[in-house]
Structure 1
């Protein structure tokens, strides 16, 4: 399903987006967000800067730049949060805008050894805790 940029969560930068996540930074070809729901401590999302529906639509250079941004974010997440593993999710059945979910997984944490939940709705932080997390991620970027 190809979505309309005028109805796209990331392109319209609307209230729904800001209720779900907090923008951290703009990288070379993407935007980085921290999920407000923090069941997976440090969970972020990287969205391509332009409205493209799928990874294969990018040129090799664009794809490499996007994956370099994704890698840059996961390196920062690893440095700040020290997860056992980072899970990558590229789900866009209903929202066709190229983006990757980055969910840190911890040995004794939720869903370790399985698939992360899209939005468990269990763990939310204080404004101060979000600010500190964002500050630490930005410093590691």
Structure 2
């Protein structure tokens, strides 16, 4: 089955496990923002099997540690909302997580300034910070370096 989620889960890949694909988002308003997507189509967190759950929590630890080390993130907002999957029929929910690293201080990297103006509050949902190809590749490489 092809869907919106399937189309982006191979872009800007940071890590792949047996059950999950981790990809950097095109939107880097929150430096290191990424998606953690289940490889199989599954529409509900309650339907994850035990192996998928255990693997997910290993990813949480590994990914947060890597982004903290790479850029100094102070906290992380994880969201698995899937609301857009129910905007129109046929519904097609797909378990995936949005990961937004949060920063108390601005970060300079590859000629870009990343500033979390909402730090200490709910993340800003509609953002759209695009960075240069050089910066995108640099972010990917820095996170990958710290994942190993």
TM-score range, shorter chain: 0.7 to 0.9
The aligned counterpart of 2:131 is 125
CA offsets 1:61-86 (integer angstroms, 9 cap, x no match) = 22111222233222211111111111
The residue that corresponds to 2:122 in the other structure is: 115
Q: Residue 102 of structure 1: which of 99, 102, 106 is its match?
A: 99
* Residue 34 (structure 1) aligns with: 24
- Identify the residue that residue 44 of structure 1 maps to in structure 2: 34
**Number of aligned residues:** 129
Structure 1 residue 52 displacement after superposition: 0.7
- Find the aligned partners of 1:137 and 1:65 in 2 and give their Cα distance: 19
Q: After TM superposition, give the deviation of residue 105 of structure 1 in Å.
A: 0.9
Equivalent residue, structure 2, for 1:90: 80
TM-score, with structure 2 as normaliser? 0.77
Question: RMSD of the alignment, in Å?
Answer: 1.8
Say which one has the larger Rg: 2
Where does the alignment leave 5 or more consecutive residues of structure 1 unmatched? none
4+ residue runs of structure 1 moved beyond 2 angstroms?
21-25
Shift of 1:27: 2.1
